Amino acid sequence: MPGLLRYCLGNIFMDKLDSRILQSLQENFPLCQRPYDVIAEKLQMSPDKLFDRIQSLVSRGVIRRIGVSLDSRKLGFISTLAAVRVKKELVDKAAEIIGQFDEVTHSYLRNDQFNIWFTIIAADQGRIDDILEQISSALSLANSEILNLPMKRLFKLDARFNASP
Protein backbone atom coordinates (compact mmCIF):
# COMPACT_ATOMS: atom_id res chain seq x y z
CA MET A 1 0.00 0.00 0.00
CA PRO A 2 1.53 3.30 -1.02
CA GLY A 3 2.07 5.76 1.81
CA LEU A 4 1.41 3.20 4.55
CA LEU A 5 4.17 3.18 7.14
CA ARG A 6 4.69 -0.40 8.29
CA TYR A 7 7.20 -1.72 10.72
CA CYS A 8 8.01 -4.98 12.38
CA LEU A 9 7.63 -5.52 16.13
CA GLY A 10 9.14 -8.96 16.67
CA ASN A 11 7.52 -11.07 13.95
CA ILE A 12 4.39 -8.88 13.74
CA PHE A 13 3.98 -6.18 11.12
CA MET A 14 2.01 -3.17 12.26
CA ASP A 15 1.32 0.28 10.96
CA LYS A 16 1.34 3.58 12.82
CA LEU A 17 -2.39 3.31 13.58
CA ASP A 18 -1.87 -0.11 15.24
CA SER A 19 0.81 1.51 17.39
CA ARG A 20 -1.47 4.41 18.36
CA ILE A 21 -4.26 1.96 19.25
CA LEU A 22 -1.94 -0.08 21.47
CA GLN A 23 -0.71 3.05 23.25
CA SER A 24 -4.29 4.27 23.78
CA LEU A 25 -5.40 0.93 25.24
CA GLN A 26 -2.50 0.94 27.72
CA GLU A 27 -2.57 4.53 28.91
CA ASN A 28 -5.43 6.38 30.58
CA PHE A 29 -8.12 3.88 29.60
CA PRO A 30 -11.45 5.74 29.91
CA LEU A 31 -13.60 4.65 32.84
CA CYS A 32 -17.00 5.26 31.34
CA GLN A 33 -19.93 3.37 29.85
CA ARG A 34 -18.50 3.33 26.30
CA PRO A 35 -14.69 3.53 26.61
CA TYR A 36 -14.00 2.33 23.06
CA ASP A 37 -16.10 5.17 21.65
CA VAL A 38 -13.91 7.62 23.59
CA ILE A 39 -10.72 5.97 22.31
CA ALA A 40 -12.06 5.91 18.74
CA GLU A 41 -12.86 9.62 18.91
CA LYS A 42 -9.39 10.37 20.29
CA LEU A 43 -7.88 8.42 17.39
CA GLN A 44 -10.23 10.08 14.89
CA MET A 45 -11.80 6.85 13.69
CA SER A 46 -15.13 5.09 13.97
CA PRO A 47 -15.75 2.70 16.89
CA ASP A 48 -16.38 -0.09 14.34
CA LYS A 49 -13.00 0.48 12.69
CA LEU A 50 -11.32 0.55 16.12
CA PHE A 51 -13.02 -2.73 17.06
CA ASP A 52 -11.92 -4.35 13.75
CA ARG A 53 -8.31 -3.22 14.33
CA ILE A 54 -8.32 -4.52 17.91
CA GLN A 55 -9.74 -7.86 16.70
CA SER A 56 -6.92 -8.04 14.15
CA LEU A 57 -4.32 -7.38 16.85
CA VAL A 58 -5.90 -10.13 18.98
CA SER A 59 -6.01 -12.63 16.11
CA ARG A 60 -2.34 -11.92 15.29
CA GLY A 61 -1.35 -12.50 18.90
CA VAL A 62 -0.27 -8.93 19.62
CA ILE A 63 -2.98 -8.54 22.28
CA ARG A 64 -3.63 -11.50 24.59
CA ARG A 65 -6.12 -9.85 26.92
CA ILE A 66 -7.57 -6.52 27.88
CA GLY A 67 -8.44 -6.19 31.54
CA VAL A 68 -7.94 -4.42 34.80
CA SER A 69 -5.11 -5.12 37.22
CA LEU A 70 -6.17 -4.69 40.83
CA ASP A 71 -3.90 -4.28 43.83
CA SER A 72 -5.14 -7.23 45.86
CA ARG A 73 -3.27 -6.03 48.97
CA LYS A 74 -5.23 -2.78 48.99
CA LEU A 75 -8.41 -4.85 48.82
CA GLY A 76 -7.35 -6.78 51.94
CA PHE A 77 -6.11 -9.97 50.29
CA ILE A 78 -2.78 -11.70 50.66
CA SER A 79 -0.88 -13.66 48.04
CA THR A 80 1.85 -16.18 47.57
CA LEU A 81 3.88 -17.70 44.80
CA ALA A 82 3.81 -21.48 45.03
CA ALA A 83 5.39 -24.36 43.16
CA VAL A 84 5.13 -28.13 43.07
CA ARG A 85 7.48 -30.83 41.90
CA VAL A 86 5.56 -33.54 40.06
CA LYS A 87 6.57 -36.33 37.73
CA LYS A 88 6.11 -35.60 34.05
CA GLU A 89 3.23 -38.08 33.75
CA LEU A 90 1.35 -36.25 36.55
CA VAL A 91 1.63 -32.74 35.11
CA ASP A 92 -1.86 -32.74 33.55
CA LYS A 93 -3.46 -34.11 36.72
CA ALA A 94 -1.58 -31.56 38.84
CA ALA A 95 -2.60 -28.69 36.56
CA GLU A 96 -6.24 -29.79 36.79
CA ILE A 97 -6.12 -29.96 40.60
CA ILE A 98 -4.34 -26.60 40.95
CA GLY A 99 -6.70 -24.96 38.47
CA GLN A 100 -9.83 -25.95 40.40
CA PHE A 101 -9.23 -23.25 43.03
CA ASP A 102 -10.72 -19.82 42.29
CA GLU A 103 -7.90 -18.25 44.30
CA VAL A 104 -5.26 -19.51 41.85
CA THR A 105 -4.84 -16.59 39.46
CA HIS A 106 -2.48 -18.27 37.01
CA SER A 107 -0.09 -21.15 36.69
CA TYR A 108 2.64 -22.15 34.31
CA LEU A 109 4.81 -25.10 33.49
CA ARG A 110 8.58 -24.73 33.82
CA ASN A 111 11.42 -26.97 32.81
CA ASP A 112 12.85 -27.06 36.29
CA GLN A 113 13.00 -29.22 39.42
CA PHE A 114 9.80 -27.50 40.61
CA ASN A 115 7.89 -27.70 37.37
CA ILE A 116 4.47 -26.12 38.04
CA TRP A 117 4.42 -22.59 39.45
CA PHE A 118 1.27 -20.71 40.43
CA THR A 119 0.03 -17.72 42.37
CA ILE A 120 -2.67 -17.74 45.00
CA ILE A 121 -4.57 -14.66 46.15
CA ALA A 122 -6.78 -15.36 49.17
CA ALA A 123 -8.59 -13.66 52.03
CA ASP A 124 -6.09 -14.82 54.63
CA GLN A 125 -3.09 -17.04 55.30
CA GLY A 126 -5.33 -19.81 56.59
CA ARG A 127 -7.02 -20.11 53.20
CA ILE A 128 -3.66 -20.21 51.41
CA ASP A 129 -2.46 -22.94 53.79
CA ASP A 130 -5.70 -24.88 53.20
CA ILE A 131 -5.33 -24.69 49.40
CA LEU A 132 -1.71 -25.80 49.52
CA GLU A 133 -2.61 -28.68 51.86
CA GLN A 134 -5.42 -29.81 49.53
CA ILE A 135 -3.08 -29.71 46.52
CA SER A 136 -0.36 -31.56 48.42
CA SER A 137 -2.82 -34.20 49.61
CA ALA A 138 -4.47 -34.70 46.21
CA LEU A 139 -1.06 -35.22 44.58
CA SER A 140 0.47 -37.18 47.51
CA LEU A 141 3.35 -34.70 47.73
CA ALA A 142 6.04 -34.75 50.39
CA ASN A 143 6.70 -31.43 52.16
CA SER A 144 9.89 -31.10 50.08
CA GLU A 145 7.82 -31.22 46.85
CA ILE A 146 5.78 -28.06 47.42
CA LEU A 147 6.99 -24.50 47.89
CA ASN A 148 5.16 -21.58 49.48
CA LEU A 149 6.98 -18.32 48.74
CA PRO A 150 5.02 -15.39 50.20
CA MET A 151 6.04 -11.89 49.17
CA LYS A 152 8.62 -10.31 51.44
CA ARG A 153 9.24 -7.19 49.39
CA LEU A 154 7.22 -5.71 46.54
CA PHE A 155 8.91 -4.95 43.24
CA LYS A 156 6.47 -2.93 41.17
CA LEU A 157 6.70 -3.67 37.47
CA ASP A 158 5.00 -1.60 34.79
CA ALA A 159 3.46 -3.96 32.27
CA ARG A 160 2.93 -1.35 29.57
CA PHE A 161 4.90 -1.70 26.35
CA ASN A 162 6.09 0.99 23.98
CA ALA A 163 4.58 0.07 20.63
CA SER A 164 6.05 3.01 18.74
CA PRO A 165 8.01 2.33 15.56
pLDDT in tens, 1-51: 333 444 455 556 778 899 899 989 988 889 999 999 999 999 999 999 999
Instruction: In whole angstroms, give the CA distance from residue 163 to residue 21.
Output: 9
Instruction: Tell me: pLDDT of 68 over 90.
Output: no
Q: What is the pLDDT of residue 121?
A: 94
Contact by Cβ (8 Å): 64, 106: no
CB of 125 closer than 8 Å to CB of 78: yes
CA 128 – CA 113 distance, rounded (Å):
22
Q: Which amino acid is at 67?
A: G
What are the structural domains, with CATH classification, of the chain? 13-59 (1.10.10), 78-150 (3.30.70.920)
Q: Quick one: pLDDT band at residue 156, thresholds 50, 70, 90? A: low
pLDDT at residue number 122: 95
Q: Identify the pLDDT of residue 6.
A: 47
Has residue 57 got a pLDDT over 80? yes
Q: Which pLDDT value is given to residue 26?
A: 87
Torsion of CA 61, 67, 72, 76, to 10 degrees: -160
